[in-house]
Amino acid sequence: MQTVSPAFSCDLKSLIQTNLTAKNARYCHLNGKRVSVLCSYKSESFSFPNGIGSSRADWQSSCAILASKVASAENSSSITGGLADQVAAVNGHSNGSVNLSLVPSDTKNGKPGLVQPLTNTDLSPAPSHGSTLRVAYQGVPGAYSEAAAGKAYPNSEAIPCDQFDVAFQAVELWIADRAVLPVENSLGGSIHRNYDLLLRHRLHIVGEVQIPVHHCLLALPGVRPDCITRVISHPQALAQTEGSLNKLTPRAAIEAFHDTAAAAEYIASNNLHDTAAVASARAAELYGLQILADGIQDDAGNVTRFLMLARDPIIPRTDRPFKTSIVFAAQEHQGTSVLFKVLSAFAFRNISLTKIESRPHHNCPLRVVDDGSVGTKKHFEYTFYVDFEASMAEARAQNALAEVQEYTSFLRVLGSYPMDMTPWSTLPSEDA
Q: How many helices (H) and strands (E) does the chain have?
A: 13, 23
Closest by Cα among 54, 51, 64, 63 to 25: 54
Catalytic residue, from 306, 322, 384, 388: name it: 306
**Measuring CA to CA, how many Å separate 59 from each of 26, 55, 167, 212?**
13, 6, 19, 40
Residue 188: what residue type? G
Catalytic residue list contains 46 = no
Active site residue 260: no
User: At 58, which amino acid appears?
Assistant: D
Q: Which helix (H) or strand (E) holds 184?
A: strand 178-185
For CA atoms 357, 358, 360, 361, the dihedral sign is positive
Torsional sign, CA 360, 365, 371, 376: positive
Q: In one letter, which amino acid is 411?
A: L
Instruction: Tally Cβ neighbours within 10 Å of residue 122.
Output: 17
DSSP string, 57-86: HHHHHHHHHHHHHHHHH-TT------HHHH
Q: Report the alpha-carbon distance of residue 5 to residue 3 in Å, rounded.
A: 6
> Are 404 and 411 spatial neighbours (Cβ–Cβ below 8 Å)?
yes
CA distance 324 to 404: 14
Characterise 238 by phi-psi region: left (phi > 0), alpha (psi -120 to 50), beta (else).
Answer: alpha
Handedness of CA 68, 72, 73, 79 (dihedral sign): positive
Distance CA 183, CA 203 (A): 15
> Among 260, 275, 304, 408, which one carries the catalytic annotation?
304
d(CA 97, CA 166): 22
DSSP 8-class letter at 50: G
Closest CA to 308 of 419, 429, 173: 419
Which of helix, strand or coil describes residue 146? helix
> What is the Cα–Cα distance from 282 to 310, expressed in whole angstroms?
27
Cβ neighbour number for residue 75 with a 10 Å cutoff: 10
Active site residue ranges = 304, 306
